[in-house]
Amino acid sequence: MAEAASQGWISQYAYTYNHNADQYEVVVPNAQGHADSLSVWQAFYFVQIDSVTNLKLNIPYRRALFKPAPTEVEPLAKLGEKYNYRTASISPAWDWFLKMGVVSADYKLQDIENGIGVCAAARDGFDGWDAFELRGTSAQGDYVQLEFVNSDNRVCAYDLHNRFEQSSSWQMRINTNPWNIKKKLHIVWPQIRLVPQNVKFSLLDSDNSKVLVDDLRQVNSYTFTIPDSSKIFYVRATKVADTAAPQFAFAFAQNPLMPTDLTYYIVPSEPLAALDVTLNGTAVNLNSLASPPEIYYGKKLLTGSGSLTLNISASDADGNTGSSSATLQYQLLKANQATRLSYNKNEATLEIPAGAIDESRTIFITRCAMEVGLLNDYEPVGNPILIGPDNLTFRKRVKLHIATDPQAPATALYKYTNGQWRYVAPYSEDIAIESSGIYQLFTGNFTPGEPTSVPHQFALYECYPNPFNGTTVLRYAVERWGKVNLLIYDLLGREVRQLVSGYQQPGFYQLSWDGKNNAGEQVASGVYYLKLQVLDGDAIQYQNSRKLTLIK
């Protein structure tokens, strides 16, 4: 069977059904095996290729193989789809392979088990190196599908071409239900780092002439609205001179059963030819993961308090050399102990009150390059901040201070949770956080008074700046629909300014106070109070107040 597959007489793939994503996944049978491969050499070739009849593979999911147990490595899996990658879904016989997919804006529709590649034994027409396309649908019959159309008009999930001298193109078609027309969709290529940088990929429109994305490595996705139930794109691969130095991202994790056991991961931007790493100035030898590939890791036992610094130097196959570093600050914290844990001379600081944890734990903080997705329409401010250990909920609120430009407009802190950024609070000198995890500052054009996300609870945040001279920014969160009253009072309890009085939907809101009263007159310097009240009929859902100091 292996020989028949290599000669292109039968399909060389097995298919498993992912019930969580409502789609099929492809497995490449390999006699020598991958660490996460299936035993698929016993009659799991579903279709024989017929040179006369145009066969279309259509298998009910109940008869397909069930998805094998997850093999992704924590904490990498939580960083996004690029780490949920099975080595068994590609073959070591291929020169390179680029996985591509399509997802809806709400991630409810997706088809990410597709790709293009190059193999010496393949040809551009349909052969045994091309994987049949399978459509996964939800229980309601809903779907979005990405498929490649090869030179003899056969559709496939994997389309392997023969080696080329300069460039090669693939036709890509995206299909969906009629009721999904006009929905926003994203074409994604999360594992592009596994392809050497001497291959450049471009995305073109339906006539294969207009370039939509010149270099897929420069962006994470392409957003479009499907005009009808089908849309055509082209992907062009071009050989180029590789002059780009490797770049690196990091991840850290503590063993939940032994919190002093730290694992650090190094994720290069491309396959490496050589890698040298030092930990606190001492050379270390790293292991490599079997799946996902091209990720390196090492371990360190944390004792007491201190810091770890990783320095990296590496080169790719074309001799380009890159370097990077990451520093982690850690401390063994007792349950009744208060502490201040700082990273890089107070660039990021945790203020942990006594009683914030229920037992002694090793806490760490780092700020470094991490391969996590960005928030649409907002710009990140610096690198993400990682606070560990993972899944730690503080019994008392911990303050996170991040040094940044105080004049940065509309800067807010978000937390990366379940593959998405969740709003935490507007930027202030000290932001209260409730748990460990990945945090990131973003800045963008927030519209005053308009919701930017959906909060999990009501909140009235600290005003900024405070004290202020001129204007101060006021931010609050509405968990449930209700009548919102936001007012300024003086020390005698007299109303100075009514800022909001009306019904508002759940969301995060922002506006400013210019120090004027309801008559438009400038008020005197002194102390004032900002009061937020949210009503459901006559019942008070939430109320809170903040002190403001106006200085002239």
- Say how far apart CA 510 and CA 452 lie, in whole Å: 9
Let me know: does 101 contact 111? Beta carbons within 8 Å: yes
Which pLDDT band, with edges at 50, 70 and 90, does 499 fall under? very high
Could you give the 3-state DSSP secondary structure of residue 83?
A: helix
Which pLDDT band, with edges at 50, 70 and 90, does 509 fall under? confident
Which pLDDT band, with edges at 50, 70 and 90, does 247 fall under? very high
The pLDDT assigned to 8 comes to 56
Reference 131, options 164, 94, 167; nearest CA is 94
The pLDDT assigned to 9 comes to 60
Residue 125 pLDDT exceeds 50:
yes
- Say how far apart CA 154 and CA 123 lie, in whole Å: 13
- Say how far apart CA 180 and CA 175 lie, in whole Å: 10
Q: What is the pLDDT of residues 134-158, one digit of tens each?
A: 776 666 778 889 999 988 888 888 9
Residues whose CB is less than 8 angstroms from the CB of residue 234 and which lie 6 or more positions away in sequence, other chains included: 169, 170, 171, 172, 203, 204, 205, 206, 208
Which pLDDT band, with edges at 50, 70 and 90, does 70 fall under? very low
Residue 525 pLDDT exceeds 60:
yes
Q: Does the pTM exceed 0.75?
A: no
DSSP secondary structure of 201-219: EEEE-TTS-SEEES-GGG-
How large is the average pLDDT for residues 498-527?
89
Token couple for 112: 């990410």
- For residue 24, give Cα distances in angstroms to 58, 79, 96, 113: 11, 22, 22, 7
Q: Which residue's structure tokens are 């250990």?
A: 389
Which has the higher per-residue pLDDT, 29 or 142?
142
Let me know: does 184 contact 221? Beta carbons within 8 Å: no
Could you give the 3-state DSSP secondary structure of residue 303?
A: coil
Q: What is the pLDDT of residues 284-307, one digit of tens each?
A: 999 988 778 889 999 999 999 999
- Say how far apart CA 367 and CA 402 lie, in whole Å: 10
Which has the higher per-residue pLDDT, 43 or 339?
339
The pLDDT assigned to 82 comes to 67
Residue 348 pLDDT exceeds 60:
yes
Could you give the 3-state DSSP secondary structure of residue 130?
A: coil
Which has the higher per-residue pLDDT, 479 or 78?
479
Which pLDDT band, with edges at 50, 70 and 90, does 43 fall under? very low
Most confident option among 17-21, 181-185, 527-531: 527-531
The pLDDT assigned to 489 comes to 95
Q: Distance between terminal CA atoms of the chain?
A: 84
Which has the higher per-residue pLDDT, 379 or 42?
379
How large is the average pLDDT for residues 44-69?
40
Q: What is the pLDDT of residues 421-459, one digit of tens each?
A: 777 877 777 788 889 999 998 886 544 444 445 576 788
DSSP secondary structure of 435-462: E-EEEEEEE--PPTTS--S--SS-EEPP
The pLDDT assigned to 77 comes to 67
Q: Where are the domains of the chain?
A: 2-239, 248-443, 459-550
Q: What is the pLDDT of residues 460-471, one digit of tens each?
A: 988 888 899 889
Residue 48 pLDDT exceeds 90:
no
Name the strands in the sheet holding 282-284, side by side, starting at the edge strand that comes first in the sequence. Answer: 282-284, 274-279, 306-315, 321-333, 361-367, 379-388, 437-443, 411-417, 420-426
The pLDDT assigned to 42 comes to 34
Residues whose CB is less than 8 angstroms from the CB of residue 197 and which lie 6 or more positions away in sequence, other chains included: 217, 242, 244, 269, 270, 316, 318
Distance of CA 522 to the CA centre of its chain: 46
Mean pLDDT, the chain, integer:
82
| Dihedral angle over CA of 128, 129, 130, 134, nearest 10 | 80
Most confident option among 3-7, 184-188, 272-276, 386-390: 272-276
The pLDDT assigned to 139 comes to 63
Let me know: does 457 contact 480? Beta carbons within 8 Å: no
How large is the average pLDDT for residues 519-523?
93
Token couple for 302: 């944390």
Task: Tell me the CATH architecture of domain 459-550.
Answer: Sandwich (2.60)
Which of 322-326, 340-344, 376-380, 443-447 is predicted least confidently? 443-447
- Say how far apart CA 336 and CA 455 lie, in whole Å: 31
The pLDDT assigned to 202 comes to 98
Q: How many CB atoms lie within 10 A of CB 301?
A: 8
- Say how far apart CA 531 and CA 489 lie, in whole Å: 8
Residue 187 pLDDT exceeds 90:
yes
Residues whose CB is less than 8 angstroms from the CB of residue 494 and which lie 6 or more positions away in sequence, other chains included: none
In the chain, % of residues over pLDDT 90: 43
CATH class held by domain 248-443: mainly beta
Token couple for 357: 């944890």
How large is the average pLDDT for residues 1-8?
59
